[in-house]
Amino acid sequence: MAVEVKSEMEMKKIGSFLGSLLRGGEIIELVGDVGSGKTTLVKGIAVGLGIDDYIQSPSFTINRVYDGRDNITLSHYDFFRLNDAGILANEVQEVLGNKNTVVIIEWGEVISGVLPKDRLTISISVVGENSRKITINSGGDSSRKLMGKIKI
Ligand SMILES: Nc1ncnc2c1ncn2[C@@H]1O[C@H](COP(=O)(O)OP(=O)(O)O)[C@@H](O)[C@H]1O
Ligand SMILES: [Mg+2]
């Protein structure tokens, strides 16, 4: 599915709706250029997960973890400019097995080897200054189910 998002606020609202659908165990890969709005979408998702903390881009720390509602943990990764994920790939693999954790990954190519097919992939492209196009794809049963609930 694809939709045009006309403002940063709308992107956060979509994120918040998506976040409200999450139950733990979901894997979301965000694809798009620098400044396309990946982290902005995560800020919205965090709201939907009941996270009060300010979501910072994990570009330098690679990973940030937040506690959300219903015992759900959000683990947000950003592998920007990393050519080799090293042992982080193993760490991600472990986290992926946790039923209470929602894993969101920006610039995930470098760990594509450990990413299961069954994940939600959200691609964001820049249309204009405040306009973005988001395309959502699913790679398996759980992510397809989740995608079916996204009404935007
Ligand atoms: N419709 C939109 N959706 C998301 N971000 C937008 C939108 N319009 C403008 N922006 C701006 O684009 C930038 C997106 O930054 P960010 O979310 O950090 O991108 P990324 O994580 O993809 O590098 C922000 O400065 C935001 O204000
Ligand atoms: Mg980012």
Segment 39-55 mean pLDDT: 96
pLDDT value of residue 81? 86
The whole-number average pLDDT for the span 99-125 is: 97
- Cα separation, 15 vs 20, whole angstroms: 9
Average pLDDT in the 93-122 region? 96
Q: Give the pLDDT of residue 4.
A: 98
pTM above 0.85, yes or no: yes
Closest residue by CA, ligand 1 atom 16: 37
Q: How large is the average pLDDT for residues 25-29? A: 98
List, as own/partner pairs, every contact residues 65-69 make where C-beta atoms lie below 8 angstroms and the sequence separation is at least 24, other chains included.
Answer: 68/102
Work out the pLDDT band at 116, boundaries 50, 70, 90: very high
- Which mutation among 30, 38, 40, 122 tests ligand 1's pocket best, with the greatest number of atoms within 8 A of CB? 40
pLDDT value, residue 47: 98
User: Ligand 1 pocket check: which of 3, 6, 8, 81 to mutate, most ligand atoms within 8 Å of Cβ?
Assistant: 8
What domains, with CATH codes, occur in the chain? Answer: 7-125+141-149 (3.40.50.300)
Find out whether 43 and 74 touch, Cβ atoms under 8 Å.
no
Please give the number of the atom of ligand 1 that sits closest to the Cα of 11. Answer: 3
Using pLDDT thresholds of 50, 70 and 90, give the confidence band for residue 59: confident
Interval 129-149: pLDDT, tens:
999 999 999 999 999 999 999
Beta strand segments in the chain, E: 2-5, 27-31, 63-67, 73-78, 101-106, 120-126, 132-138
Q: Average model confidence (pLDDT) for the chain? A: 96
Ligand 1 pocket at CB < 6 A: 5, 7-8, 11, 32, 34-40, 57, 130-132
Region 4-22: what's the mean pLDDT? 98
